[in-house]
Structure formats: structure tokens, C-alpha cells
Structure 1
């Protein structure tokens, strides 16, 4: 491990020195020094911080119940189960699930956040077959979660197998676009379609260093500490298989493709935008946009069905399109009309003061239809 770490740091140092004259000519001495420090430190952090969900070994000499998939490691269960009251004193514990069907224009997105003092808060938007949009907003109720399942505001989220399957249930009232209350029930399974992608351990080190090195040294150090020490969340591609009923209607089977996110890092002010892309050929994308002073940080992950989830190394955006690049592929997307109107939530709580916005747009990539779901998160002190 130590020799591998030293070799990795030496490779970074050699790569930085090999392009020193180009970097100095384009950005100056200060940028070069900050970029070198960033690359070395972030490489060290990533090499010395183990993943919560490491890739499974495909070939092993010693078979165990875990390696055979008969049981799941306790460390994986601990990451997926509800956090303790002590954890909630300074850290987050909330889930976001979303899914969409491109042809039917059905969409489901919800966020369940556990707060302090035994409370939880939920936000949800549901649309079936492109009809009326139903919403659950600013709902703060008792947190009924136990050590095995998240429960509150009519939602129940139970992990059946870490990183693999979740049972999702809802029974409660939602409002339609005219403000009328509708009784909504749904129940089903969320099934993983990829391995987890962990933040910040798996994001592109070079793309972060390229952006952070433009900041003032103190601001750069603060952002590195915030992103690489205090934050932790992971995302995973997957699909919903649900049975949904509204009022007294017959239950309807719904199949949606999207992803889930679990946030468990330090509670702190931040403003960021999450864009989720899903296209007919199976390509999916999660791009995170964060504004720091006059710099825009782009990071995230992209999934190509023939490979695996890879880090986004660069991105560029204009109102009608955006491009995201990984080490193997370029995702160039055209954005169309809005297919789900903006839904906004504001929460005021002694420990949570934030704004959450969600909307959806049609999109195309290489002639393939798709959708882009956007979530804006603004958290204040």
C-alpha cells in the first residue's frame, strides 16, 4: 500500500512537472503551485480513504458466504440503515429517489430527510402518464424510523439488500395542481442497475484541481476541506417497479428508470444543482454544478451500459445544451421543452434552512430521446 501510494504521488509530480512551461504560460506561477498542491493532496486523500462500497472481487481463492453472495457484509448494512441520534446532531441523513419513463412521461421524485428532535421532512412529486402533477410539499412529521427502515410522512424505505434492492411504500395525501387533496398509495421495489458511485472519493481529481486552483489559497483550502473531509454521499443508477393507485382508481403498474442518492455528511451551507439524464439507449448521467466565488465546479458520474459508472472529467453548459466528458466517452445533449413544471420546497427548522427545487425537460443525445431532471439545492446556515 505504501509503495503504491508513493508511486502514485511520483506519477502526479512527474505529470505536473512535464507540463510546467505550458501551465506557467497560460495561468502563471501561483496557479501552477496551487494545482500541484491540489493534485498531490487529493491523490493522497483518495488513495488513503477506502471506499464504503468497494467493487466486489470477481475471482477469489477463498470462498466465504459473503463472496458467494449468501450474506451481505455488515459494513454495507451500516451505510444503508438509518443513522443514530448522535449522527443527526451534526450530520445529514436523507435519501432522494427519482425515476422517469420516457414514453409515458411518468415521473416520481421524492426526498425524505431526517431532522433532529425526532422529526422528518418529505418532498414528493408524482405524475402518471403525463397527466396531472401531484405534490407533497413542506411536510414535517414525526420520524418513525427504527434501526432497519426509514419511516415518516407516509413514506417507508426499507433496504432489503445493501446496494441492491429497496422496498418503497407510500400511503398519504398529495395535492393536485388545483390544490385538491388526493389519496395516493404506491408500493414496490427499487432495483440497482449499477454499482454505487461515492462522493468525493471517486470524482475526477484533475477536474477538481483545475477549478479549485483558480481560487484564492484560503478559499481553495476551505473548499478542499469541505468537499473532501466533511461531505459524503453516494449515488446509484436503478429502476422502480411500482403499483400506484390514486383515490379509488384501479392500481396501475409503473416502471421508472432513474437513480437514488444518500447524503450522510456534515450539515453546512451550500448551493448546488444536480442534473440527471436518462436516454433510450441506456446512457445515464449525474452532473453536479457548484458555484464557488467566480468559479463553477463540475463533477459527477456517467453510465454507459457496456462499461461501468465513470467520473465526469469536464463539462460545459449553455441554456439549450450541455456536454459532459468521461475518460471513455462524450455525452453531448440537447435540451428541449419543460415537461415537468418547477416544484419548490422551502424548509425552516432550527437545524435545516433550505430550498429544494425540481423540474424536468425533454432531451436528445445522438438522436435518442431522453429526459433531464434538474434539482436545485440551496442550504443556508
Structure 2
């Protein structure tokens, strides 16, 4: 009798579960921006995760095959041909919002720091800036800051060069040169000018991390699975795609400030971003930590919100000195909506991330910060925050970049052409 009752109840219970699942309402996004896990989340997660894993495996096998067949080097210190191609200048063509950007960010335990970026845009304009901090000296800024929109001279066109800043690649994925010759302004005396000349060489110490091929499938699958899917969604995801890779290393050289020479030697990350479409108005905000530790390890970890396609994307990687391995960040509990959503930025905070099957507890204490804007109409606002950190008890230092959308009451999806 009991068996008959149970056998009769099972189909009814299953029907009830299916009915409730089919009619389950979608959870509203936090602040109307950050999507949450909804009823189809796990199915979508598994689907995307398997696809990304297969794609990474195919890419890895192709790379190994090229090595075995002797086709992997380009003749310059055994740099992979694929990597050498990535280092070439991107042809902006006639795409109105195309971008080709090089960026350096480094700092040392002693307090020396440099941040430099040159983003080539169509029409021979650049978004460019330079920050320089030498121990014992005032923080120096390129004269145009806090604005970065600059017009190139004829001799600078087609190069990563504008207003005295000059970036050149010597060996793909190995060495770059950063030069500056001109005036900079002290932060607290912006009417004054300092005569600055520098010649710096950035050298790679780790393998490059290409987000197209090495981003954690777990993080990307989790982010995509939260979003409402449609044909338009995937078309937009493709249209907003940019190639972005980063590489940890060090930057060294001499800096002359008003005739006084200084030696700069700091750990430094370099990145390269290029693509047909970069509109800062499509980004709601991001926070990105560049961390350098006393034991030689370094990391980049953060979270990006681009509401039209990926409103909760954890990004980053961890470089382990002991075996020179680079691991993608697989998870991180740093949530953008919990930190500075109203632009009141925390100065002492922490989070935990996972990489290489190991957990890392991070504490960040902000020591100094500066702001600037990108875009002709100041579409994006950035905070550069120099900080001291501690990761699993190991002391270190970091520069943390906080980006905010600076265009009020704009629907980001309407800005996509």
C-alpha cells in the first residue's frame, strides 16, 4: 500500500518541481547592474565551461605541435610566432572606435613608481599619460593630466608616441623601451614644471598571460551564465571583444629630474590591448590590483563590470617565483557592489582569491592616490592607488586601478554601433 502511494506521489512531485522551475522568476540585478545566478545558471555554466576547456585544449595542442614541427620560433630568441604577431602594431583602419594601447605599471618597496599608457586611436589621437615617483621627490605628472586626450604630431603618427612619451618594442615578449623627454608637473605645485628625461628598459620575467586563451574557464563561464542569453547577446559579446594580454617583468634605467640623476629599478607589468571597438561608456566600472610580493611572486586580480555582456567577471593571474608558473585566477570573493559603488573608495580592505588550487588571503592598505580621465569627453574616471599589501602573511606592495563610468544616465547598450 505504501509503495503504491509513493509511486503515485513521485510523478506529481516531479511535475510540481518542473512547474515551479519553469515559472521561477528571474532575480533582479543588484543595483540594476550586477546579474545574479538564476534558474538556468548551472546548465549554462556547464555548457560554457566545457566549450572553453575544449578551446583551451585545442590551442595548447596546436602550440605543442608547432614546437614539435620546428615552426614555433620567429628567429628572435625563440619567441613563439603567435606571440610575436601579438606584439605588432594593430592596424586601426577606418573603425571609429578602434584602439591599440600599451601600458606599464610598476612600483617598488622603497616607494619608486611609474605608470605610463599610450592608447592609439583613429585620427592620430592618443589617450596618454605618465606618472613618475622617485623616492624623496614629489610625484610628477605629465602636463596634460588629469586629461589624457592628445593629438599626435606628424612625426609621431602611427607610433606609440605623443608629447614626449615614446614606447618601442625591441624583442617581442622580451624587451620594450620607454623614453620621455619633456616637462612634468609636481602634484602639489601644478604651476611649476620639472625638466625630465628618462630612458628605461622593460624586461620580461614571466611568460605572457593572454586573456583570449588563458582566462579561467570557471570565472568566464560563471560570468556568462549569469547573463540573459539571446542571439543579440552573443553578437554583442563578439562585437565588444578586444585582445588583451599582460606580462610581468621589471623596468630599469636612469631618470634625470632638473639635472639630478636617479636610478629606477622596479617590478612592472606591461599590457597590450587592441581591437576594433573600445568605448569606455560601455564599462560600468572595474577594480584591478597589480601586486608585487617580497618573495618574488606577483599577481594581477580584479573584477570587471561591462553590463551589456559581462556584469560580474573576475580576472587575473598569479605568478609563482619558485617554478616560474603562471596560474589563472579561478575565483575571488571581491565583489564590486560591495566596494566603492558610490565612489567612496575603501582605504583598508581585504579579499580571498584562488589560483593553482591554492587560496590567497589579501589585505590592502592604501597609502596614496591620484585621479585622471580618459576620452575627449572624460567618459571614464580612473583612480590610481599606491598601496601596501599582505598576501598569506607575505608583505608586498601594489598599485590598484579603480575605473568608473563618468557619463551619467547613459544606457551603455545604445552606444554600441
The TM-score bracket by the shorter chain reads 0.7 to 0.9
User: In the TM superposition, what whole-angstrom CA distance separates every residue of 1:165-217 from its partner, at most 9, and x where no partner exists?
Assistant: 01111111111121122111110210001111011321111222223323323
Partner residue, 1:329: 358
Partner residue, 1:173: 183
Within the alignment, does 1:366 sit opposite 2:385 as a pair?
Answer: no
Residues 334-349 of structure 1 mapped to structure 2, 5 A cutoff = 334-336=363-365, 338-348=366-376
Distance 2:262 2:289 in 1: 28
Change (3 A) 1:365 1:85: closer
User: In the TM superposition, what whole-angstrom CA distance separates every residue of 1:60-112 from its partner, at most 9, and x where no partner exists?
Assistant: 575x894775575665444223322417644210111011111x211101111
Structure of greater relative contact order (alpha carbons < 8 Å, 6+ residues apart): 2
Higher strand fraction (1 or 2)? 1
Using the size of structure 2 for normalisation, the TM-score is 0.73
Residues 242-261 of structure 1 mapped to structure 2, 5 A cutoff = 242-249=253-260, 251-261=261-271
Partner residue, 1:37: 47
Work out which of the two has the higher radius of gyration on C-alpha atoms and give 1 or 2. Answer: 2
Distance 1:56 1:312 in 2: 27
Following TM superposition, by how much is the alpha carbon of 1:115 offset from its aligned partner in structure 2, in angstroms? Answer: 1.8
Partner residue, 1:8: none
Measured on the aligned residues, the alpha-carbon RMSD in Å equals: 3.3
Distance 2:44 2:126 in 1: 42
Following TM superposition, by how much is the alpha carbon of 1:303 offset from its aligned partner in structure 2, in angstroms? Answer: 0.6
8 Å Cα contact 1:315/1:323 also seen in 2:
yes
Q: In structure 1, list runs of 5 or more residues that go unmatched.
A: 1-23
Provide the secondary structure at the position in 1 that maps to 2:233.
helix
Within the alignment, does 1:107 sit opposite 2:113 as a pair?
Answer: yes
Distance 1:56 1:121 in 2: 40
Distance 1:55 1:164 in 2: 21
Match of 2:290 among 257, 261, 276: 276
Partner residue, 1:211: 223
Q: In structure 2, list runs of 5 or more residues that go unmatched.
A: 1-20, 22-36, 340-347, 408-414
Using the size of structure 1 for normalisation, the TM-score is 0.79
User: In the TM superposition, what whole-angstrom CA distance separates every residue of 1:214-239 from its partner, at most 9, and x where no partner exists?
Assistant: 332349x7379537972211000010
Partner residue, 2:328: 311
- In the alignment of these two chains, the number of paired residues is 346
| Segment drifting more, 354-363 vs 79-88 | 79-88
